[in-house]
A and B are shown apart, each in its own frame.
Chain A
Amino acid sequence: MATRLEGHTFRRFDGELARLHTEILQMADLVYDQIQMALESFQQQKLDIIRVVNEREPQVDAMEKSIDNTITEILAKRCPVARDLRVIMAFSKLVTDLERLGDEAAKIAYITTTLYNNEHSNPSNYLLRDITVMGKFACALLKEAIENLDILDLERAEKLLNSHDDLDEEFQSSLRRLATYVLEDARNVGHIINIVLVMKSLIRIGEHARNLAEYVVYMVSGEDIRHAEIEQT
């Protein structure tokens, strides 16, 4: 069930919340775009796209600042409570995750340039295969999380959080595979380090996506399920 943010007797509050929500969604879309482009360039050696990614990075930071500003204003003027307060607190936290996601995109872009702009030969396709698989998983997770930011559906967030962690599993097997490649040909070490770094980024992207889902759960139900596993033990 989607969650409604509007319905305040004082309608301007509705407008302000809607504006904040839109800004968040715009930023999420931009970040998603950045990650996709960075991955694409990494896989297909499109260095011109890297430039775009790097150029748009400050834009993400600017959006973060703008959103923080909007949130401060709303807090000052509306003194939100209950769901409004949770939504705004979650937005305020979630914008940090979005900014980190942007950073991951920039990181991937940087690795891409170092990977292709050196005297060594380009990595062979079988080295990049795992990235492709993991990239797909990460992007799917992020896409789902971002889509849910729009409709703020508790059940979807729940489903996402309870879903099987394909990304992690893939990472484990990739590591094993890459280790064998290193043994086969030690010259691959340079490439493989870069590839592992990108994989790590993808893992983090997956984690941020889960964080987004956790914030949605918090917004809608008020339940703070972050670090739930630590509390359970």
Chain B
Amino acid sequence: MNKLASSRPKTIDQVKASLPKRHLSEKVFRSIGLISIIISLMFLFVLFYTIVSKGYTAFQQTFIQLEVNFDERLLDPEGTRHRDALSTADYGGLIKASLSKLFPEVTTRNEKRLLYSLVSTGAAYQLRERVMDNPALIGQTQQVWVPVDDEVDMLIKGHTLRDVPEAERRLRDVQIAWLDQLEAKEKLALKFNTAFFINGDSREPELAGIWGALMGSIYTLIVTLILSFPIGFATAVYLEEFAPKNKWIDLIEVNINNLAAVPSIIFGLLGLAVFINFMSFPRSAPLVGGLVLAFMTLPTIIIASRGALKSVPPSIREAALGVGASTMQAVYFHVLPLAIPGMLTGVIIGMARALGETAPLLMIGMVAFIVDIPSNILDPATALPVQIFLWADSPERAFVERTSAAIIVLLGFLFVMNALAIILRKKFEHRW
């Protein structure tokens, strides 16, 4: 016995001998994990930094203060105060008059054109709106802040450099000189860019806003939600709780899993062929977009919901069946309440994917330039990610910062939706 024990090395010694190697491999593995996390965080940081640093300036816009004389002769020569007359009046003339008053030395036609181009074309619309709102303004003189042209905006914000040779920039030296004078007189100021949030798309960057795209996205998502939520839920519940186990059901399951992996542009093609060509739904409408995105998110929702249902312990079903509940009652009263948080998470993640989806929307024409803000699901509309795509394509320098700003808004929405998913899950889980 003793001999046997002594001839064999003690277990503890063998364990000790192997310990350094084990500790080392554990350390290596842990550091690999840590490094990967750091790298991914770095990428994330770089992404956010680039977007935010490029985009935050878009939330501000340079305004110019003009002393506008709402001259009755120019606006309403007949003095009728008729709305038609007021809306067609020459508000651009008011701006030009005020600018000329600021710089009386500008006389040549060419220089005047340069001077007038400093102010955004949208300034005239702004004045018109003021007058339409309050016709009593006519005849008065007021200090009005109006947006400047996007090139001026870029210069003030420092995106356009002054030391570039004159031929290579859009602003002439003389224009910069005027701007310096205005700045010295504190006639130029950066203000919060309300237009960005309440306007539709525009060719003029200083007038372009995301509200139209946002509404398009919201309408699209509402259609998607209304379709995919009940269908996805019902499918998942049927497949998980009621379906017999046979090869047809297996086939359906395999196909659902495959659909989740189909590239989204294929769904766009499907939408184009079926809804627009075959069923003649309006092009560019959130209805069609919603239908297509519903197709796309259904597999995601079904798979996530089935996972949530699967994770409900079978003992709960047995307990319900054991006291004589029908399958329906067992599912409705006991399984669903437990699965709902997981199912909702699946839905919201599906929705978030739909919100960020571009490719299928391109196929059904939601990529058009649409200035008007859609008011229902049949109006032509575009969506946030498509708007970003469109702006990223535009040549104007000012659209660069607007693209980033739109991305910030989109990310914000995604963030809110994910937070909502977490809050909902927590709320339902905490009920018991």
Direct contact of A and B (CB under 8 A): no
Interface residues of A (CB under 8 A from B): none
